[in-house]
Amino acid sequence: MPRFAYSALDSTGKEILGEVEAPDADWVSQQLSDDQLIPLEIAESVATEHWGDILRKHLPIGVDDLSLFSSQFAIMLDTGLPIVASLELLAESSPKLKMRTALAEAVAQVREGSPLHTALEKVGPFPPIYINMVRAGETSGTLVEVLQQLASYLDRNAELQGRLKGAIVYPIFLVVLSLAVVTFLMVAIIPKFTAMLTKLGVELPLPTRALIAMSNFFVGNWMWILLGISAVAGTIYWILRDPQMQRRLDATLLNLPLLGEVISKNSLARFCFVLGSLLHGGIAIVDALEISGRTAGNREVSATISDARRQIIAGRGISDALSSAGTIPALVRQMIKIGEATGNLDTVLLRIAEIYDQQVRRTMDVLVRLIEPAMIVVLGGIVGFIAISLVLPMVKAVASYGG
């Protein structure tokens, strides 16, 4: 919708300047008249955007955007503002075009009589867990509280993603840079170095002979090497499209030292938070388990929850149904059992989620501290081997000439 700048006079003769979004200038003029103002000039604003603002406007909607939307929406509703008015204000203030468009469509859906969760589901950028929790909040009349919980949940996810990116980006950068340097040495430097050593006629030490052999193999078979890497990558991609293989991979990840602990606790934290929030919102346990199981983020954990859900349908309690699951720790099962017995299962689940979130953050900090020095040691060893392989024959040649 275009923006119009206007100037008008009030009842005292004072000039008032402002801007407003409107379908056309006549609409602005009518609104000014309704407000007891005399329009003097109305012109459509021509906005000049910086290239960075234009790029940001067209970026996809991320976790941070959903978290900010949830917290602002909760504040507006808590102050008594109606849903439609809140969505309209959020649409106007959103810096991203996709979010503005989605919220404008949601406003139209709500005006036509659709529930909020149905409107958000139709407009696209909101994940299934978000839709289901909003539905739970609408059903139980706790929408403000649910939105606050969603904001907290999304904030934790955004923080964890930031930590993961920080732990992964630096090692990947080092690996890519080292591979580029090693490839350059193998292709451009070592062949020339080999020709020079041949002219010197010195006996090459074992590390140098091994380096020259690797260089010759790389230069002579680079096409086959690239084809082999592509074939392996394609095979892995094809295998991982199989749901059974995906579940096996997720099960393997759970058994990895340290990293498996992070994945397991993060999955359990997500599951417990979503399940506790849905139960607090009045969703039936069977439906809540189906929704929360899909949000665990690990197929092995999700499969365990699905098995437990089938047992609950058959009449077993939650803790009993989870007792046979190796992926659910005994402490979690015991706390769930206490929550069932006391009637505070939703509160217990949210507390478990909070505990595991704290543990995941601490473990991630340990991982980050371990990865960086380990990468430096490995890459330093590779560079050191190449340097020694190049220097040893030179030292030997100088010694032979000196002797």
Pinpoint the alpha helices (H) of 298-344. 299-313, 318-322, 330-342
Q: Could you tell me the two tokens for 183?
A: 């490839």
Share the mean pLDDT of the chain: 80
273: left (phi over 0), alpha (psi -120 to 50) or beta: alpha
Q: Identical fold at 3-47 and 142-403?
A: no
Q: Could you tell me the two tokens for 94?
A: 């959103």
- pLDDT of 51 strictly over 50: no
**Highest mean pLDDT: which of 54-63, 104-113, 117-126, 250-259?**
104-113
Q: Tokens 């810096």, residue?
A: 95
Task: Give, in order, the Cα–Cα distances in Å from 32 to each of 16, 19, 191.
Answer: 11, 11, 80
pLDDT tens readout for residues 64-120: 888 888 889 999 898 888 888 888 888 888 777 888 888 888 888 888 888 988 898
- Superfamily for domain range 142-403: Type II secretion system (T2SS), domain F (1.20.81.30)
Q: Are 301 and 271 in contact (CB under 8 A)?
A: yes
Region 214-223: mean pLDDT is: 82
Domain ranges of the chain: 3-47, 60-126, 142-403
- pLDDT of 401 strictly over 70: no
Q: Phi and psi at residue 23, in whole multiples of 5°?
A: -70, -35
Beta bridge partners of 5: 19, 43
pLDDT tens readout for residues 262-319: 888 888 888 888 888 888 777 788 888 887 887 777 888 888 888 888 888 888 878 7
Residues 6+ apart with CB under 8 A from 122: 105, 106, 109, 114
- pLDDT of 28 strictly over 60: yes
- pLDDT of 324 strictly over 60: yes
Give helix 128-140 / helix 285-294 axis angle, nearest 10°: 150
Higher pLDDT residue, 399 or 238? 238
The pLDDT of residue 53 is 47
**3-state secondary structure string, 220-275?**
HCHHHHHHHHHHHHHHHHHHHCCHHHHHHHHHHHHCCCCHHHHHHHHHHHHHHHHH
Q: Could you tell me the two tokens for 277?
A: 């929030």
**3-state secondary structure string, 56-86?**
HHCCCCCHHHHHHHHHHHHHHHHCCCCHHHH
Q: Please determine, looking at this structure, whether the domain spanning 3-47 carries the CATH number 3.10.20.
A: yes
The 10 Å CB-count burial string (b at 16+, else e) for 244-271 is eeeeebbbebbeeeeeebbbbbbbbbbb
Q: How far apart are CA 299 and CA 244, in angstroms?
A: 9
Q: How far apart are CA 24 and CA 34, in angstroms?
A: 16
Q: Could you tell me the two tokens for 214?
A: 């690797």
The pLDDT of residue 58 is 56
Q: How far apart are CA 372 and CA 351, in angstroms?
A: 33
The pLDDT of residue 191 is 81
Beta bridge partners of 19: 5
C-alpha 189: how far from chain center: 41
Q: Tokens 């090692």, residue?
A: 171
Q: How far apart are CA 377 and CA 379, in angstroms?
A: 6
Give helix 128-140 / helix 143-184 axis angle, nearest 10°: 170
Which among 72, 77, 83 has a CA at the least distance from the CA of 119?
A: 83
For CA atoms 46, 50, 53, 54, the dihedral sign is: positive
Q: How far apart are CA 213 and CA 194, in angstroms?
A: 10
What DSSP line would sit under 177-209, residue for residue?
Answer: HHHHHHHHIIIIIHHHHHHHHHHHTPPPPHHHH
Q: Phi and psi at residue 250, in whole multiples of 5°?
A: -65, -40
Q: How far apart are CA 251 and CA 260, in angstroms?
A: 9
